[in-house]
């Protein structure tokens, strides 16, 4: 993977400007859906007009939004920023809702490029086995993969049941993208 040069990104002025406020990112994200007027913002944000207008003027000043009579919309730069913000917030949300999983599992063997698509985990559910049902997570996993078509699987361990269900699905003409480590891959090749 390419190393990122921080010099080429300058001092992140726009990012700092946006994230230093609760109002500015909220306004941008609301505008990513459609044009809005002040009343729309007041209803959505439940904030006073003065606070909203202040945020809108700040975003307009740095060319992220445009005003056409009473309606506000995203400028080209604003479309790019709102899209990036939405992805960032989705990623942070994903890591927040499954905090226990991310804090208690090593991600060393997951390719870094996989995290560029972490938004795909937005509907994920963390299932943890307990002392009463040691196979709870595994059974849920088997239910899910037996009911799906095309699969993208991160397989950190190998059990024969994994392979059986994966092969059954592939017989139906479905596709498989498998991310695993060397030890599991060696077991699969046998």
Asked whether the predicted pLDDT for residue 68 surpasses 80, the reply is: yes
Q: How many CA atoms lie within 13 A of 106 on its CB side?
A: 5
> Given this model, what pLDDT does residue 41 score?
94
> Given this model, what pLDDT does residue 9 score?
64
pLDDT tens digits for range 110-164:
777 777 777 777 777 777 777 888 788 778 877 777 777 776 766 666 677 767 7
Asked whether the predicted pLDDT for residue 190 surpasses 60, the reply is: no
pLDDT tens digits for range 21-60:
899 999 999 999 899 999 999 999 999 999 999 999 999 9
What is the spatial distance between Cα 181 and Cα 154, in angstroms, rounded to a whole number?
9
Asked whether the predicted pLDDT for residue 70 surpasses 80, the reply is: yes
Q: How many CA atoms lie within 13 A of 76 on its CB side?
A: 0
Asked whether the predicted pLDDT for residue 75 surpasses 90, the reply is: yes
> Given this model, what pLDDT does residue 6 score?
62
What is the spatial distance between Cα 97 and Cα 67, in angstroms, rounded to a whole number?
36
Asked whether the predicted pLDDT for residue 15 surpasses 60, the reply is: yes
Q: Which residues contact 155 (CB under 8 A, 6 or more apart)?
A: 162, 178, 179, 180, 184
Average pLDDT over the chain reads 80
> Do the Cβ atoms of 38 and 70 come closer than 8 Å?
yes
């Amino acid at each position: 993977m390419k190393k990122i040069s921080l010099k080429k990104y300058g001092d992140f002025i726009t990012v700092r400007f946006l994230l230093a406020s609760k109002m500015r990112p909220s306004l941008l994200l609301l505008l990513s859906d459609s044009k809005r007027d002040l009343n729309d913002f007041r209803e959505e944000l439940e904030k006073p007009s003065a606070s909203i207008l202040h945020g809108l003027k700040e975003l307009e000043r740095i060319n992220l939004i445009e005003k056409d009579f009473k309606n506000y919309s995203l400028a080209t730069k604003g479309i790019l920023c709102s899209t990036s913000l939405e992805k960032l917030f989705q990623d942070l949300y994903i890591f927040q809702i499954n905090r226990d999983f991310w804090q208690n599992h090593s991600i060393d063997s997951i390719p870094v490029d996989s995290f560029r698509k972490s938004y795909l985990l937005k509907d994920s559910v963390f299932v943890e086995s307990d002392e009463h049902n040691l196979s709870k997570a595994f059974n849920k996993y088997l239910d899910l993969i037996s009911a799906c078509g095309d699969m993208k699987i991160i397989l950190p361990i190998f059990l024969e049941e994994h392979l059986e269900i994966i092969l059954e699905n592939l017989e139906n003409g479905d596709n498989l993208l498998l991310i695993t480590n060397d030890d599991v891959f060696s077991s699969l090749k046998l």
